């Protein structure tokens, strides 16, 4: 099989499988892995099948990501598939560029927001009466949990263990790394698609 | 003097198109012209509506197709703010 054909098939599997992976990921967050063993065989089989599909999709995704880095041909090839739209002339190439620019900037904005949300920590709690200062025992703490390793950030606990009541305790993003990455992948595809369709509707006029 | 020259060289320009006139003279539809030039009808619509400035290559193609000069089809004027 020629590399171009393989690339075409893999890119289709990646794109068509992406919604399925999102559904499986959402479903998995509600399923207790230990409880699967006590489920009827059909549920166990479906669970195993979902794992197999996800594993296969991962293998295709890895191949595709390596090709996207090293091959300019596949970059040109995959772009029209993302929006089911092929550049037919110079104006449409310009629209593709505009959609890409929009997607890049919105993704950058989201990444900056996610960075801020992941490092910011705030807690508001009521401490024990014996630790009150001038009769005041409510404390608000603000912090920035900046660390490159996940454990370094998690180990920072802004709320002491002996507090009476916690009003607010936010210590970084509650989502898993997988959820954030999956969201960013889906965002890229959806944002590009939406921008391209909007540009085509408006004829490429600036909004 | 130098300030005036700089202002005129950085002023925003607007490309005026007379493509619809040339097309009407030839009694061609936008679809037919697009097919002859090798672009989409939407591009011809955008050029005629002055929503899109064609590349030099496309402008030359259009001029060649109508056997004329580029400046006969496209002219330039200073854009009003």
Global confidence as pTM: 0.69
* Chain A contact set for B58 (CB, 8 A): 89-90
Cα separation, A97 vs A133, whole angstroms: 60
For an interface test with B, which of A91, A96, A206 has the most B Cβ atoms less than 10 Å from its Cβ?
A91
- When CB atoms are compared, the residue of A89, A204, A205 closest to B39 is A89
Q: Answer whether B39 sits within 8 Å of A90, measured CB to CB.
A: yes
Q: By C-alpha distance, which of B15, B78, B20 is closest to B52?
A: B15
* Chain B contact set for A94 (CB, 8 A): 52
How confident is the model over A30-71, as pLDDT tens digits? 777 777 777 788 888 888 888 888 888 989 999 988 988 888
- When CB atoms are compared, the residue of A88, A90, A204 closest to B51 is A204
How confident is the model over A102-140, as pLDDT tens digits? 999 999 999 999 988 888 888 888 888 887 888 888 888
CA–CA min distance B40, chain A (Å): 7
* Cα-Cα-Cα-Cα dihedral sign, residues A72, A73, A75, A79: positive
Inform me whether the pLDDT recorded for B4 exceeds 70: no
Q: What is the ipTM of this complex?
A: 0.76
Contact predicate B69/A118, CB 8 Å:
no
Contact predicate A83/A76, CB 8 Å:
no
How confident is the model over B26-79, as pLDDT tens digits? 999 999 999 999 999 999 999 999 999 999 999 999 999 999 999 999 999 887
Contact predicate A87/A80, CB 8 Å:
yes
User: pLDDT at position A205, please?
Assistant: 62
Contact predicate A158/A121, CB 8 Å:
yes
User: pLDDT at position B7, please?
Assistant: 57
């Amino acid at each position: 099989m020629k590399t171009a054909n393989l690339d075409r098939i893999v890119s289709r599997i990646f794109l068509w499988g992406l919604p399925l992976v999102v559904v499986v990921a959402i479903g998995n967050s509600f399923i207790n892995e230990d409880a699967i063993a006590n489920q009827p065989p059909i549920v166990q089989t479906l669970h195993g099948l979902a794992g197999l599909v996800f594993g296969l999709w991962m293998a295709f995704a890895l191949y595709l990501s390596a090709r996207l880095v090293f091959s300019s041909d596949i970059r040109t090839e995959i772009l029209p598939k993302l929006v089911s739209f092929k550049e037919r002339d110079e104006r449409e190439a310009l629209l593709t560029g505009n959609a890409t620019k929009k997607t890049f900037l919105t993704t950058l904005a989201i990444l900056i927001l996610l960075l801020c949300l992941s490092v910011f920590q705030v807690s508001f709690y009521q401490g024990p009466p014996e630790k009150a200062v001038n009769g005041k025992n409510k404390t608000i703490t603000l912090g920035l949990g900046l660390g490159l390793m996940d454990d370094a950030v998690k180990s920072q606990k802004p709320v002491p263990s002996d507090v009476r009541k916690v009003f607010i305790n936010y210590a970084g993003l509650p989502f898993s790394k997988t959820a954030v990455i999956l969201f960013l992948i889906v965002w890229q595809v959806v944002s590009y698609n939406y921008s391209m369709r909007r540009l085509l509707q408006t004829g490429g006029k600036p909004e | 003097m130098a300030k005036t020259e700089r202002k005129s060289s950085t002023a925003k320009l607007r490309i005026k198109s007379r493509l619809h006139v040339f097309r009407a003279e030839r009694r061609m539809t936008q679809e037919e012209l697009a097919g002859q030039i090798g672009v989409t009808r939407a591009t011809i619509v955008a050029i005629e509506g002055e929503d899109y400035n064609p590349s030099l290559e496309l402008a030359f193609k259009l001029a060649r197709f109508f056997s004329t000069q580029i400046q006969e089809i496209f002219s330039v004027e200073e854009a009003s703010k």
